[in-house]
Homo-oligomer: A and B are copies of this chain.
Amino acid sequence: MKKLINDPKDVVKEALEGMALAHADILRLAPEPAFLVRADAPVEGKVGIVSGGGSGHEPMHGGLVGFGMLDAAVPGPVFTSPTPDPILEATKAVDSGRGVLHIVKNYTGDVLNFETASDLALAEEIEVRSVIVDDDVAVKDSLYTAGRRGVAGTVLVEKIAGASAERGDDLDTVAGLAEKVNANARSMGVALSACTVPHAGEPSFDLGEDEIEIGIGIHGEPGRARIAIEPADAIVDRLLAPILEDLPFASGDDVLLFVNGMGGTPEIELYIVFRRAAEVLRERGITVTRHLVGNFTTSLEMQGCSITVLRLDDELTELWDAPVHTAALRWGR
């Protein structure tokens, strides 16, 4: 295992310290229990938004803390849910009296620990709503999940819910918009290589020299099929077909097309994927009115990508366009 790390047990702690040093204008590190929180939290009169989960998916979630997006991000160890304690503390730190939304990816550990934290917050008279993200169409039930997994669509939920909270919407409205994004987003991914969790020291699964995994989970969980490598256009077609059939998306839809890198894929390849995906959507009469391309929901150094398609209406488009200022996503401010 070759990584730019010190002691494997310090990876998350030291990366958080680096984040806090680099982005002191945006966020600060609450040290014990550790979470990243907006420098100006709690923001008076604003619904708070907390997300989190296992580390190793950066910039999600710490890189998405800031104006117009998350108020706090609670990191667990690599690929392992945070415990209820830091989730509770983050919830308390961002509550200004208007309540707090938890955005939770659908993994059994995350769901359980956010639920416990939510109960504990309620006992301290903080109103909490939870939205579970389950945008991955690849498989139903998986290694760590009952039902569908939550993957890169989470970034879109966080952006749009964040914009809603920033303009002063109440907790029901913010939660309703998060649910609306989840209901209109579908994703699927592919892995060309595995990744190595630092404290494990070995790749999390084996892929043959010419094999790829279609429908991979963001922790390397099995997908739909293991096949021989194909041209990028054929792989894109394999990812897009189940996405488009699932909602279903239809001719006349306006969509946001999100090509997400898994961490180890060159940007040049992500744009080749974007090119084909945009072509397929055009052929189906679906218009790409917004886009996102880059590494947002990663699996350490895994090579591969995921595609997310989100059906947009005027309300979602307006909230997507609203100003945001985080380490990973910024515009309009």
Chain B residues with CB below 8 A from A6, complex form: 231-233, 272
Chain B residues with CB below 8 A from A304, complex form: 4
Within 8 A of B (CB), among A147-193: 190, 192-193
Which one of B56, B266, B271 contacts A300 once the chains associate, using CB atoms below 8 Å? B266
Contact check, B267 vs A58: say whether CB atoms are below 8 A apart: yes
Contact check, A4 vs B267: say whether CB atoms are below 8 A apart: no
Contact check, B232 vs A5: say whether CB atoms are below 8 A apart: yes
Given contacts A266-B301, A298-B266, A331-B330, contact A271 B5 (CB under 8 A): no
Copies of chain A in the complex: 2
Contact check, B266 vs A2: say whether CB atoms are below 8 A apart: no
Chain B residues with CB below 8 A from A333, complex form: 332
Given contacts A11-B272, A301-B266, contact A192 B18 (CB under 8 A): no
Chain B residues with CB below 8 A from A58, complex form: 266-268, 271
Report the stretch among A113-121, A215-223, A273-281, A309-317 that lies at the interface: A273-281
A210 contacts B by Cβ under 8 Å: yes
Which one of B7, B14, B232 contacts A4 once the chains associate, using CB atoms below 8 Å? B232
Contact check, B275 vs A21: say whether CB atoms are below 8 A apart: yes
Chain B residues with CB below 8 A from A264, complex form: 263-264, 266, 301, 303
A59 contacts B by Cβ under 8 Å: yes
A30 contacts B by Cβ under 8 Å: no
Report the count of interface residues on A (CB-CB < 8 A).
Answer: 62
CA of A267 to CA of B63, assembled, Å: 10
Contact check, B21 vs A192: say whether CB atoms are below 8 A apart: no
A17 contacts B by Cβ under 8 Å: yes
A43 contacts B by Cβ under 8 Å: no
Q: Considering the complex of A and B, which 6 residue pairs feature the smallest CB-CB distances, nearest first?
A: A18-B271, A18-B275, A4-B269, A58-B267, A18-B274, A264-B264
A-B contact pairs, 5 of them (CB 8 A): A2-B210, A4-B272, A6-B232, A18-B278, A58-B266
Residues of A within 8 A of B (CB): 2-7, 11-12, 14-19, 21-22, 55-56, 58-59, 63, 190, 192-193, 209-210, 212, 229, 231-233, 235, 263-275, 278, 288, 291, 293, 295, 298, 300-301, 303-305, 325, 327, 330-333
Sample of 10 further A-B pairs with CB below 8 A, known A14-B271, A21-B275, A295-B295: A7-B231, A15-B275, A17-B271, A21-B288, A56-B266, A265-B301, A266-B300, A267-B298, A325-B331, A332-B333
